[in-house]
Amino acid sequence: MDQPSGRSFMQVLCEKYSPENFPYRRGPGMGVHVPATPQGSPMKDRLNLPSVLVLNSCGITCAGDENEIAAFCAHVSELDLSDNKLEDWHEVSKIVSNVPHLEFLNLSSNPLNLSVLERTCAGSFSGVRKLVLNNSKASWETVHMLLQELPELEELFLCLNDYETVSCSSICCQSLKLLHITDNNLQDWTEIRKLGVMFPSLDTLILANNHLNAIEEPDDSLARLFPNLRSISLHKSGLHSWEDIDKLNSFPKLEEVRLLGIPLLQPYTTEERRKLVIARLPSVSKLNGSVVTDGEREDSERFFIRYYVDVPQEEVPFRYHELITKYGKLEPLAEVDLRPQSSARVEVHFKDQVEEMSIRLDQTVAELKKQLKSLVQLPTSNMLLYHFDHEAPFGPEEMKYSSRALHSFGIRDGDKIYVESKTK
């Protein structure tokens, strides 16, 4: 059901966290008491506010009474205002400036692109460490203004903002460690490299669903651009060359990579994708969310050598020669057919008769007796069968159960089947 328009932050706060609707306790006497104003407060005397406030999808358009926000939200550290109707940065500033301990702020899916963020308002965000602006269509000018006023910002989310380019700021943000900028349209590496210039301390870069078509940068330049990058997600990017994968080795601290859904890997099997990527990225310890063990790395590197062993020398990747130095030239693995044997040639012994014959191993004991009936001239009901494996230590095994399949006896070429008549 649609929320009514024109609701204030304080109005929604009082409705959601009143004792009737939210019986939350932070301990005896921990509720916040606000004395009634001379005109009478529209709120209850006590609200049971947690330190994490979730007020998403509530139709909020404005702040409300700033004194009341300050009185109620002094202890709040996380605030989710996503999917509201906030379009004026000045109103957001009124809320944030009265939440002094705020560290996490989610403003996703608010139409904040409809107003301009002024520096006086941006200063209200100075204590925020994690800022989420997904689907806010925030301009780069707005982002730069915020970055200048948030000296402790560590995590920034800019997904679904329709960015086709990155506007580089003249001021670096040294504090930022994690950047989520997925689901935009950043196809050229010339745009991505600007992120390295702006965020030199970046530890984690999430670029999924951006259709990045190539990593076009000299190796030494990559190391300077992202000197601290530990994790990168290129999930569903447009990478189509193994040279792009090799470029990832230029990030000096890279440990974790996500590469699912890229065009380069589509022609390969699941096994080939993982092993060929692991073999090319010797420093990566986690691929697509799964830890790369020492055993898996060795298996992948050996697989890599065998994969390229018959490829013309001019097409062999440089990594192949590095791995040959490590392991030597490996012979192709022998192809072993692990399918169960379908038939066997056995000796059938009955009294003084010995007959060599081929028997199907998918048939039952009862069906074998029918096959032997004409040979031994005995009715199947009067027939006892014994299987003798010359390697078995306990002698012949009686083939008792008529419905048991012959392959379950482990019959092989050269084994013997003894037929005896039941004693009357």
Over residues 287-322, the pLDDT tens digits come to: 999 999 999 999 999 999 999 988 898 899 999 999
Angle at the Cα of 192 from the Cα atoms of 189 and 196, rounded to 5 degrees: 130
Please give the Cα distance from 16 to 295 (Å, whole number).
Answer: 53
Residue 34 has pLDDT above 70, yes or no: no
pLDDT at 263: 96
CA-derived radius of gyration, the chain: 36
Kindly state the helix (H) or strand (E) to which residue 369 belongs, with its residue range: helix 365-376
Cβ-contact 80, 53 below 8 angstroms: yes
Q: Which two tokens stand for residue 364?
A: 């039952």
Residues 38-55: what's their mean pLDDT? 65
Give the lowest-confidence range in 40-44, 257-261, 349-353.
40-44
Residue 25 has pLDDT above 50, yes or no: no
Q: Where are the domains of the chain?
A: 7-19+47-327, 343-421
**pLDDT, mean over the chain:** 89
Cβ-contact 187, 238 below 8 angstroms: yes
Q: Is the dihedral of CA 220, 225, 229, 235 positive or negative?
A: negative
pLDDT at 2: 45
Give the lowest-confidence range in 97-101, 151-155, 339-343, 405-409.
339-343
* Crossing angle of the two packed helices 270-280 and 294-308, in degrees rounded to 10: 100
Tens digits of residue pLDDT in 138-183: 999 999 999 999 999 999 999 999 999 999 988 899 999 999 999 9
Give the lowest-confidence range in 36-40, 177-181, 270-274.
36-40
pTM of the model: 0.74
pLDDT at 23: 52
Q: Which two tokens stand for residue 134?
A: 């997904």
pLDDT at 334: 60
Cβ-contact 220, 247 below 8 angstroms: no
Kindly state the helix (H) or strand (E) to which residue 104 belongs, with its residue range: strand 104-106
With the CA atoms of 351, 352, 353 and 356 taken in that order, what torsion angle do they form, in degrees rounded to the nearest 10?
A: 100
Residue 394 has pLDDT above 60, yes or no: yes
pLDDT at 41: 41
Residue 279 has pLDDT above 70, yes or no: yes
The DSSP secondary-structure symbol of 203 reads -
Return the percentage of the chain with pLDDT > 90, whole number: 77
Fold classification of 343-421 (topology level): Ubiquitin-like (UB roll) (3.10.20)
Residue 27 has pLDDT above 70, yes or no: no
pLDDT at 284: 97
Tens digits of residue pLDDT in 225-240: 999 999 999 999 999 9
**Residues facing residue 359 across a β-bridge:** 344
Cβ-contact 78, 103 below 8 angstroms: yes
Please give the Cα distance from 141 to 361 (Å, whole number).
Answer: 76
Residue 213 has pLDDT above 80, yes or no: yes
List of residues 6+ apart from 66 with CB closer than 8 A: 94, 97, 98
Return the percentage of the chain with pLDDT > 70, whole number: 90
In the CATH scheme, what is the homologous superfamily, with its name and number, of domain 7-19+47-327?
Answer: Ribonuclease Inhibitor (3.80.10.10)
Give the lowest-confidence range in 76-90, 100-114, 324-338, 379-393.
324-338
